[in-house]
Amino acid sequence: MSLRLKLHNTLTREKAEFQPIDADNVRMYVCGPTVYDFAHIGNARPVIVFDVLYRLLRHIYGDAHVTYARNITDVDDKINARALRDYPNLPLNDAIHAVTEKTALQFHEDVAMLGCLEPTIEPRATDNIPQMIEIIEKLIARGHAYVASGEVLFDTKSMGDYGQLSKRPLDEQQAGARVAVEVHKKSPGDFVLWKLSSHNEPGWESPWGRGRPGWHIECSAMSERYLGETFDIHGGGLDLIFPHHENEIAQSRCAHGTHVMANVWMHNGFVQVEGRKMSKSDGNFITIYELLHTEKFGGRKWPGDVLRLAMLMTHYREPIDFSVKRLEEAERLLAKWPAADIGDAAPDQTVLDALADDLNTVAAVQALHALAQAANADPEKIPAFAASAALLGVLPKKAKVDGAIAEAIDSLVAMRLEMLKAKNFAEADRIRDELSAKGIQLKDGKDKDSGERVTTWEIRR
């Protein structure tokens, strides 16, 4: 294999060459959404980042040899609260189903508009309850979990090297998100594997009574079921390192007796909005849906490929300031790239080399822009540009239009040419801007035979 993929591993804090466990079945797990509310722009970043990695792995090892699992968490106390708030007149199970189905559907529509491929597998937590119970039983049997006050908790002191991912000493560990510190815990850092459910909470029968799983056990069960006890890559946002990913590792390793859960752990950086931490109270909390369909951010709607490119213009491990200025910069860049269809050409080596260096999308975008400039000057270079852009998921595609619309565009293009001949540049620019606002890109040139000015056009996105 000519391309040597190097990835930064959060577990080792080093960048090293990626060696899959089985090159015929490269396996990656990424934590997906908890479907109680529309996904926000911070949620979009890992989806985009690991979609690029998924595309790169498929290019290197072949589409049929990469398995990408991204879960959906559809049992959670936040979901219960939203169900009671939004559907107070429905039975609880029906209300929960209404919340999760609506939110999951919107998530799928949003990320599709961001140009993301569907994962190979998208397991739901509620479809894997027996697998969670089985892992919990193993942890109890091996002395890593205990029952107290109706709950099953993981005993963090039972694992000698607990905390390797976050590098936090055990005596500094806190219970973590979604887990309260209670007197029945042996240690403050112990976390819930199974908790009892009241009559108005969703629950499943278990050896410890009717209850529901803790947050962390869900991903341990789903990753083991679909990828195995040990797999290649586990990804997610930086905020998940502790407690979620740390506790996944503890559960999985102690249940299966393995040295690692995943060989490589990758985490994307935080997302700020206009220089501030995103917060509903600060009024800068914005969902993917709002960016795509409303004028909440910057007074306009933003195309999905613009949002995607804006994310990729910062290295995935660095924090990103998501701003109108950054979106405008991405849009200007896309406007300079030729629209094309995916052909049989191979991606350019400069783009491949950039992505193989720990997913350096910044360098990849720069290389892609150089390819776009070359393709604009020489149409024969468009296929290589298109293949490279498709690897990043930012290929400007040609749009199809019906005859009446095409005639109207032709008429405006002809009018603009007349304005240029008459040296009425202000009107010519106005027409160009009008067409550009509608996603129509004009390209001026000269007829090879007559030498007269000619203009072609294409609709983007």
- Give residue 278's pLDDT: 87
Q: How far apart are CA 157 and CA 177, in angstroms?
A: 19
pLDDT in tens, 37-59: 999 999 999 999 999 999 999 99
pLDDT of residue 262 exceeding 70, the answer is: yes
Write out the H or E segment, with its range, that includes residue 351.
helix 349-356
Contact (Cβ atoms closer than 8 angstroms) between residue 376 and residue 340: no
Q: How far apart are CA 115 and CA 334, in angstroms?
A: 14
CA geometry: angle 281, 287, 288, nearest 5 deg: 160
pLDDT in tens, 175-195: 444 444 567 899 999 999 999
The model's pTM: 0.86
Contact (Cβ atoms closer than 8 angstroms) between residue 44 and residue 307: yes
CA geometry: angle 122, 342, 64, nearest 5 deg: 40
| Four-CA torsion 441, 442, 448, 451, nearest 10 degrees | -170
Q: What percent of the chain has pLDDT over 70?
A: 95
| Range from 264-278, 289-303, 308-322, 421-435 carrying the lowest mean pLDDT | 421-435
How large is the average pLDDT for residues 16-36? 97
Contacts of 433 (CB under 8 A, 6+ apart): none
Contact (Cβ atoms closer than 8 angstroms) between residue 399 and residue 460: yes
- Give residue 179's pLDDT: 43
Chain mean pLDDT for the chain: 92
- Give residue 175's pLDDT: 44
How large is the average pLDDT for residues 152-169? 94
Locate 196 and state its tokens. 């009892």
Count CB atoms within 10 A of the CB of residue 239.
Answer: 14
